[in-house]
Structure 1
């Protein structure tokens, strides 16, 4: 399915929790009738309690509040927050709370990885930022570096529809009965700006490849510059070929990846691909100032995306994801400038000589990591037939902080 761009939106880029949570909390406190909130992680920390308090205040003044968290990413939610929220009248659901300790099966890895909020059917938040404090991490990895967007305009109706649909699905699965929940009587998503945007999701039914296909279409159309920042990056065959073809056309391709990671195995597996990428002319940078959790891209100074989807098998094959794609030179320039400023102050460029000089032990660790990650994908049921069809290549079990 092609991305359907809707005009008339106002989209604000939010850099990490320092921008995101003050804006979100203001809008939660201004809500009049309805709140949908989805998060993979819902941490028992300062931010988790601040958001919970705002949701409780909203419920107390008569707002219909619906909160959905992932059963793995927020597996302590029932103990940490459920009694408080339930007593205040906040409706809560957990997506797939069961986790098989000793069984690695595909359906167990289908997580709710989206980070969405929709307030009164007229304001939406989309991005990669979980309900967690940026400083809730080891000191060397703080503050967490990430992006989201605040959106007003016609595209909010698409985000609202996705949030409502997710609530229906989880409700049906939890209560074993179907009904359509009450929602705002009439969406009010008027023209609010001049930016064109498309809201894309990834699921296992009608939208399996929407986010991947949007990336591929933009990369294949690129003529000058591609800048991708992604926390977990293990592209499949078509994605890799599209990047290499872009380089051969004379497009500058830059990829910003984690230098500090919560998953060393995945980082080593990704580094196994560096030498070929560098030899082909792709510029690779590692962000070392803190923990980078971003999932964004800017192409040719007008196409940009901000969302929850990594470029790896977990996101592109299994998880529920959501990205906003923006076709607007002003927004693209804002995001590109932010990325380049972070790269200049906190990233190191990887050079071919670094990998040409690496010893056999280093090469062995990287390629062993790649093989192990690939094996894990095979154990989930995604074997070579999926890689040949370019679903994606290696993958891992759910992450603690994705």
Structure 2
């Protein structure tokens, strides 16, 4: 479906958990009627406990609080957080709970990867930040690098619609009548600013390629500059061709990727693409300061996106994702300056010949990783592109 751009929004870019969680906790603390939160991960650490405590406190003062987490990303939520939340009056559910963790079935790959929150129909949060401490990973001396957007204005309406629709789907699947949507507070959608934006989903029914097509349209129309930052980058042929074509017509293309090894197979598979991209004139930076978790882009300093969707088969073909696409020069400039600072202070640029300089066995390992990962996607039935 084509993006529906709505004018009159007030959007605030939030850089990593240091900016996101204070804003989220403040909004939950001020809630009067309704809080609705979705997260892929809901960790039992200092940040997770702080968010859980804020949600429980809101429920105890009479606010309707709904929480939906993913069964794979938050496998211990039912034991670590759900009992206390339920006791406080929070409506908490798990999307596709992991029952047989060691059985590979196709539907297990369809995860809830969105990170959304809506408070009183007046403010929402969209981005890539899970409910987890920025220093949760071992041996980390700097915080995890990610983004979210605080939203007010007409864009609240489609965000609220998406939250409620998935809640109802999960209720129906679980035959749960206790948590039916009641005491609803409708998002007013009144204009409060001057920024134009669209809310994009990816699911397996009506919005299968909405996020990917938005990226491709923007890349194909780029005239000056493309800056992408992505934690897990394994684009299909169509996406790679669009990037190479942009570079070929003189567009400056820069990609910021994960430098630290988090998931070894995916990390090596991504590096198998470097030679082809570098040869096309695309600059590649690897972020080394901490774990990169961002999924953002800026094109021609007026188009920007922030959200949960990686540019890999799992996000673009399998998971439920949510991104905000913004057409606003001020927002795009702010995001681009932030990315430029991250590349300057925490990343290294790869030389054009870095792929050729690798030993033959290192190149073979990365090509084998790429082939194996694509084969696994193909076996799942989603690798036809």
TM-score scaled by length of structure 2: 0.97
CA distances 1:242-277 after superposition (whole Å, capped 9, x unpaired):
111111111000000000131011111010110010
For 1:157 and 1:258, how far apart are their aligned partners in 2? 34
Shift of 1:371: 1.4
> CA 1:185/1:368 → structure 2, altered by over 3 Å: closer, same or farther?
closer
Alignment of 1:264-279 (within 5 A): 264-279=264-279
Residues 28 and 212 from structure 1, CA distance in 2 versus in 1: closer, same or farther, beyond 3 angstroms? same
- Partner of residue 161, structure 1: 161
- Partners of 2:17 and 2:273 in 1: CA distance: 31
Residues 122 and 156 of structure 2 are in contact (CA less than 8 Å); yes or no, is this contact kept in structure 1?
yes
Q: How far apart, CA to CA, are the structure 2 residues paired with 1:348 and 1:178?
A: 52
Contact 2:120 2:185 in 1 (8 A): no
TM-score, normalised relative to structure 1: 0.93
Q: Contact 1:122–1:157 at 8 Å: present in 2 too?
A: no
Q: Which moved more, 1:369-378 or 1:194-203?
A: 369-378
Aligned residues of 1:141 and 1:291 also touching (Cα < 8 A):
no
CA displacement 1:187-226 (0-9 Å, x = unmatched): 2232111000000000011100000010011001100000
What aligned pairs does 1:3-402 form with structure 2 within 5 A after superposition? 3-140=3-140, 142-175=142-175, 181-383=181-383, 386-387=384-385
Q: Report the equivalent of 1:392.
A: none
Distance, in Å, in 2 between the alignment partners of 1:150 and 1:301 is: 20
**Residue pair 2:45, 2:133 contacting (<8 A) in 1 also:** yes
Please give the alpha-carbon distance, in whole angstroms, between the structure 2 residues aligned to 1:183 and 1:322: 25
Partners of 1:345 and 1:99 lie apart in 2 by: 43
Aligned-partner Cα distance in 1 for 2:185–2:360: 65
Matched-pair contact (CA < 8 Å) for 2:48–2:131? yes
3-state DSSP of counterpart to 2:97: coil
Task: Supply the distance in 2 between the matched residues of 1:123 and 1:167 (Cα, whole angstroms).
Answer: 19
CA 1:379–1:142: 2 relative to 1, 3 Å: farther
- Unaligned 5+ segments in structure 1 are 388-402
Tell me if structure 2 keeps the 8 A contact 1:59–1:89. yes
The offset of 1:99, in angstroms, is 4.7
Give the secondary-structure state (helix, strand or coil) at the position aligned to 1:348. Answer: strand
Judging changes above 3 Å, is the alpha-carbon distance between structure 1 residues 251 and 32 closer, same or farther for their aligned structure 2 residues?
same
SS in 1 for 2:140: helix
Between the two proteins, the alignment pairs up a number of residues equal to 385
Contact 1:6 1:197 in 2 (8 A): yes
* RMSD (CA atoms): 1.4
TM-superposed CA distance for 1:85, in Å, is 0.3
Structure 1 pair 198/338, CA: closer, same or farther in 2 (3 Å)?
A: same
Partner SS, residue 315 of structure 1: helix
Q: Which runs of 5+ in 2 are unaligned?
A: none
Q: 3-state SS of the aligned residue for 1:140? A: coil
**In structure 2, C-alpha distance between the alignment counterparts of 1:360 and 1:56, rounded to whole Å:** 56
Q: Does the CA contact (< 8 Å) of 2:117 and 2:126 recur in 1? A: yes
Q: Distance in 2 between matches of 1:180 and 1:78?
A: 20
CA drift of 1:327 comes to 0.3
Equivalent residue, structure 2, for 1:395: none
Q: 1:172, 1:178 within 8 Å by CA — same for their partners in 2?
A: no
1:79 aligned counterpart, secondary structure? helix
- Give the 3-state SS of the residue equivalent to 1:41 in structure 2: coil
Structure 2 residue matching 1:167: 3-state secondary structure = helix
Contact 1:95 1:112 in 2 (8 A): yes
